[in-house]
Each structure stands twice: as structure tokens, then as C-alpha cells.
Amino acid sequence: MDISDQSEHRVKIYTDGACSGNPGPGGWAAVLFWRDAKKEISGFVEETTNQRMELMAAIRGLEALKKPCAVDLFSDSAYLINAFHKRWLVSWQRNGWVNSKKEPVANQDLWALLLELADTHEIVWHKVRGHSDNVYNNRCDELARAEILRAKG
């Protein structure tokens, strides 16, 4: 089934990750839109990095989908978006998960999860400006930071 033409399976996901220190406590968040429905999800990781939280936000947003969907995923993370747009993931896999500096690719465990999810859904990756005028990216940032603050008590 070609899901890209069926609006009933088209979803928009906005994501963001945050970290207090790098590494340090981190939060991730996603805002999902399907038809007229909106769902906000977020979570906390005790010791992590900003990059991992950006990836985790995308992973958790995609994992929240109950069936294969056509997804427009929006992120302010150049790290996340460029891995797909510039085909870094293809190169990393071809080179045995070694980057251009001949070092092991960071966050390989999360990239592997994202690749599995990308095989399940038809995803268009969109880069948005962070901390700018995108209301949903800003909302994700608020949610991710709130997770960190809540954990700090």
C-alpha cells in the first residue's frame, strides 16, 4: 500500500531534545499531529548528551505511531536531519559504522533504532530553525526542558 497519498495515514511530528550540561540530565519531547488530533509526549534521561536527546525525541515520536504512516518530521537538529539528507547514515553503514575521521559513529544504538523506524514509515525530514518562530519546535523545547527541571525537583 502506498501510504503517502492517504491523508488518513499522514502525520506531522515536531521534536526537540535538551540537556543541562553536555553530558548531563536531558529531556526529549515530541508533538504529534494527526488529522485534528494533537498529542504531546516527553521524557527524561539522567545522564546523556544533547545529541542523544535530539535522536531520542525523533525515536519516541515515531514509536508513538500505531501503524505505518507518511510522516513529516520537523527538528532543529542539523545532526539528525543531515544524517538523512546528506546520506551520512548510508556512508556510516557502508563503512562499518565508522565516520569520516575513522572513528566509531557516536550514538550508533540510537541510529540503528531510527533506521528501523525509517523502514516502517515514509518519512520526510524537515530542518527548522531552533528557538525561533516555530511554535511547535518551541513547545517541544519547553516540554524537554520541563522534564529536566522536574527531575531536578
Residue from 16, 27, 61, 121 carrying the catalytic annotation: 16
54 belongs to the catalytic site: yes
Q: Which residue among 9, 76, 121, 147 is the active-site one? A: 76
CA 68 to chain centre: 17
Q: Return the C-alpha cell found at 133.
A: 518562530
**Does the active-site annotation cover 9?**
no
* Residue 131 among the catalytic residues: yes
Q: Rounded to the nearest 10 degrees, what angle do helices 135-152 and 50-63 cross at?
A: 110
Structural Rg of the chain based on CA atoms: 15
Among residues 125, 123, 124, 122, the alpha carbon closest in space to that of 1 is found at 122
Among the listed residues 27, 54, 121, 147, the single catalytic one is: 54
Q: Shortest CA distance to 69 belongs to which of 20, 114, 120, 115?
A: 120
> Annotated catalytic, 76?
yes
CB of 58 closer than 8 Å to CB of 14: no
Cell matching residue 89: 547514515
Query: Catalytic: which of 26, 27, 121, 141?
Result: 141
Q: From CA 132, how far away is CA 18, in angstroms rounded? A: 15
Check if 16 is active-site: yes
Q: Which of 9, 17, 27, 61 is catalytic?
A: 17
Catalytic residue numbers, as ranges: 16-17, 54, 76, 131, 141
